[in-house]
Amino acid sequence: MARIAQRAPGTQDILPADQPYWEAMEAAAKDQAARFGYQRIETPVYETTDLFVRGVGEGTDIVTKEMYSFTDRGGRSLTLRPEGTAPIVRAYFDAGMQVEPQPVRLFYIGPFFRAERPQAGRFHQFHQFGIETIGDASPLLDVEAIVLGWNWFAGLDIGGVTLHLNSIGDEVCRPAYRELLREYFRPHLATLSETSRARFEKNPLRLFDSKDPNDEPLKRNAPRIVDHLCGPCAEAFRLVKEGLTARGIPFELDPNLVRGLDYYTRTVFEYHHESLGGAQNSLGGGGRYDGLAAALGYRSTPGVGFAMGMERAAIILKQSKPLTPPAPDVYAVALEASDELHVFHLASTLRARRISVVFDPSPSRLDTKLRKAVKRGARVALIVGPEEREKNQVVIRDLRLKTQTSVAERELLSTVGQMLGGA
Ligand code: HAM
């Protein structure tokens, strides 16, 4: 047994120094959600396994290789949620949201779990900010989702994002296209990678996900689904492109973009960032999923949404924009143990006025405590010793200017308030 307990592989601690980035991401998410009228929803971190098998799809990598599933005491198979869309569609019907005015606009922030091989930007537990718009098939809602995501990056000052866009048709045009792809790839089966050969049978669209350089030339010359869309899918895609162009959002048409979850129909998109590099360059992705509700056994209901990978966004934020955790206003110290309770009480008085105070109970010398105060980033030190106690005074030290004054205790609040106000 290891001598010291280990962090589970593929997990991360989000430490105090990381928190400003996470708070910024969450604030930007709430800001965009509010502007577009999206309401927050939180679903459980685990669901019945069946939800993901039916929703995400039996043959997908997520379901076949990446789920954390377990059996509970009642013999039910449960799974730590690998994604949020299927759970939210379930919750939409569970809560009777289909009878509310449509579409229902929801957003979520929380942890997700996938047993993928951990590497830079890929974790077993990761976090997503996502949105789902359920109950209306308008292509303008696809545009809305894409714009909201785009604005989230802009709100965080994350530059260098490229938007990849494709349409993968629907149950009307996709079956014929699938056959066309099989015909195209069939003569080359022997030269395809093993993974691609398996995908050829199960879902030939996923051949475009192949990372094998040998498959590249074949992929490049393959028939593109956008050339084989049925009338309504082609019209919807035209409207999405028109909407994005009108909003001034640049996009790259990417015929290789098929996404790894089975529920997508029509529009699919991903936000990429070059600095993430390689296979993990996707900051977020989403699309329309008009068949998902029916696949889960509910009345057929259209939906569209995306999810952003927050660990990946944090990597970029850290590179581009140093943020520091908030510092306390005041650092409170007593010179003698007998004065500590009094200082503790003065600190409470300040806190009642929304001034943040860190109380230092250590028996160390004053200069050591003041060094700690500076290190913590405090603006002001509050110091009380026997002399001050006797005169009902306190010493207030400006830690930046390195000056200090003694003031009457009853003037503590106004003096500190003035110093902070003038900061
Ligand atoms: P997804 O593409 O599977 O889509 O995941 C969205 C984002 O989550 C990815 O672009 C990536 O940034 C992040 N992500 C995924 N797996 C990991 C991992 N193992 N470690 C770190 N980050 C990861 C979905 O989940 C869909 N539910 C999105 C959606 C919403 N589609 C429609 N509505």
CA 342 vs. chain centroid, Å, equals: 45
* Distance in Å, CA 260 to ligand 1 centroid: 10
> Which of the 8 DSSP states describes residue 326?
P
pLDDT digits (tens, 9 = 90+) for 13-40: 999 999 999 999 999 999 999 999 999 9
Q: Is 287 in the pocket of ligand 1 (CB under 6 A)?
A: yes
Label residue 185 by pLDDT band (50, 70, 90): very high
Mutate to test the pocket of ligand 1, among 112, 127, 128, 311 (most ligand atoms within 8 A of CB): 128
Whether 423 has a pLDDT exceeding 60, the answer reads: no
Residue 211 has pLDDT above 90, yes or no: no
The mean per-residue pLDDT over the stretch 143-147 comes to 98
Q: Is the CB of 267 under 6 A from ligand 1?
A: no
pLDDT at res. 274: 85
Separation between Cα atoms, residue 295 and residue 50, nearest integer Å? 11
Check whether 422 has a pLDDT greater than 80: no
Q: 18-27, 189-198, 238-247: which has the minimum mean pLDDT? A: 189-198
Could you tell me how far CA 157 lies from the centroid of its own chain?
16
For a ligand 1 pocket test, name from 38, 141, 261 the mutation site with the most ligand atoms within 8 angstroms of its C-beta: 261
In angstroms, the Cα distances linking 417 to 20, 246, 388 are 25, 50, 20
Cα separation, 31 vs 347, in Å, equals 34
Q: Give pLDDT, residue 203.
A: 87
| Mean pLDDT (whole number) for 386-415 | 97
Is the CB of 114 within 6 Å of ligand 1? yes
Asked if residue 360 has its Cβ within 6 Å of ligand 1, the reply is no
- What's the pLDDT at 337? 94
Q: How far apart are CA 407 and CA 85, in angstroms?
A: 60
- What pLDDT was estimated at residue 49? 98
**Per-residue pLDDT tens over the stretch 297-339:** 999 999 999 999 999 999 999 998 899 999 999 999 999 999 9
**Axis crossing angle, helix 139-155 with helix 231-246, rounded to the nearest 10:** 30
Dist CA 82 CA 87 (whole Å): 10
What is the per-residue pLDDT for 278? 63
285 CA from centroid of ligand 1 (Å): 6
What's the rounded Cα separation, in Å, for the pair 18 and 14?
6
Cα 64 to ligand 1 centre (Å): 16
* More confident call, 321 vs 81: 81
* pLDDT computed for residue 302 by the predictor: 98
Q: Does residue 219 contact residue 210 with C-beta atoms inside 8 Å?
A: yes
Proportion of the chain above pLDDT 70, given as a percent? 98
Mean pLDDT of 155-181: 96
Q: Is the CB of 286 under 6 A from ligand 1?
A: yes
How far apart are alpha carbons 350 and 356 in whole angstroms? Answer: 7
Q: Whose CA is nearest to atom 9 of ligand 1?
A: 284
What pLDDT score does 138 carry?
98
Strand partners, 19: none
Task: Supply the mean pLDDT for the chain.
Answer: 95
In angstroms, the CA 106 to CA 132 distance is: 5
Pocket test for ligand 1, best of 66, 83, 107 (most atoms within 8 A of CB): 83
- Give residue 345's pLDDT: 97
Torsions phi, psi for 394 (to 5 deg): -140, 155
**Across the strands, what pairs with 162?**
272
Write the DSSP symbol of residue 8: P
* Whether pLDDT at 114 is above 90: yes
SS3 126: strand
pLDDT above 90 coverage of the chain, percent: 87
pLDDT of residue 1: 63
pLDDT of 220 higher than 60: yes
Question: Is the CB of 132 inside a 6 Å radius of any atom of ligand 1?
Answer: yes
